[in-house]
Amino acid sequence: MKKSVYSLVLMDDVVEAIDRLAYERNTNRSNLINQILAESVNFVTPEMRMRGIFAQLENMLSESCYQILDRSSDSMFALRSQVRYKYRPVVNYTIELFREPKDIVGRLKVSFRTSSRNFIEAVEEFFTRWMHMEDEYLSKVHKEGTPAEFENAKYVRGFLRVSENNELSENEIASAIGEYIKVLDKCIKFYFEHLHDEELIENMIHTSYRNYLESGVYVA
């Protein structure tokens, strides 16, 4: 959305209050004033849309096995889950949405809090398998491979931008991302619970992912 510079005459006390609130919300004065004015005239800003998506995500995931973390900005949403392994390592999921999407609407970052070399190697093996599987199932959508990478025990997955003729609603975006996190988390945990059963892991991951794709709106 295009932005322009405007001159406003405001009371100093009002500006101080705005600055305090902007600091609390981890934003700046101009952005906060823009949001306040948009709300007063019932105009939906990108920030408001992102907050709506994250609010629905929180409703979807808060009653499951996830710990929702405090949101530090309108464009970021984070949660964590525990994996059944020797030292109960934690897997962190961070969703970032872009204010003005170009190629992708946002990305998911998955990282692990552990110093175990064996665990990190197992994580790398899992995501190598996961990315290969996504390339296989989404080959018609991503002819050059899904927008994902794994490096330094961190998985990053981009979400394709929906065309203007097929724009998804807040609920559909939240549902697609939330269901993706749930199936990924389910497969990660199953993988570490059955590390020595290659065939069982392969069948479970593929079945779970196919069910996700067949359930409706999905992350592409």
Mean pLDDT, the chain, rounded, equals: 85
Least confidently predicted of 72-76, 92-96, 175-179? 72-76
Residue 103 to residue 111: CA distance in whole angstroms: 23
pLDDT at res. 2: 65
DSSP codes joined into one string, the chain: -----------HHHHHHHHHHHHHTT--HHHHHHHHHHHHTT---HHHHHHHHHHHHHHHHTTTT-EEPPP-STTEEEEEEE--STT--EEEEEEEE-SS-SSEEEEEEEEEE---HHHHHHHHHHHHHHHHHHHHHTTTT-TT--SEEEETTEEEEEEEPPPGGGPPPHHHHHHHHHHHHHHHHHHHHHHHHSTT-HHHHHHHHHHHHHHHHHTSS---
Task: Look up tokens 């709506």; give the residue.
Answer: 52
Q: Quick check: 127 pLDDT over 80? A: yes
Q: Would you place residue 163 in the very low, low, confident or very high pLDDT band (cuts 50, 70, 90)?
A: low
Q: Which of the residue ranges 9-18, 22-31, 119-128, 162-171 has the most confident prediction, judged by mean pLDDT?
A: 119-128
Mean pLDDT of the region 75-100: 87
Least confidently predicted of 115-119, 195-199, 200-204, 216-220? 216-220
Amino acid 204 reads: M
What digits encode the pLDDT tens for the residues 5-55?
A: 777 778 888 888 889 988 887 788 887 887 777 677 766 677 888 888 899
pLDDT at res. 183: 95
Least confidently predicted of 17-31, 91-105, 152-166? 152-166
pTM over 0.85: no
Q: Quick check: 125 pLDDT over 60? A: yes
Share of the chain above pLDDT 70, in %: 92
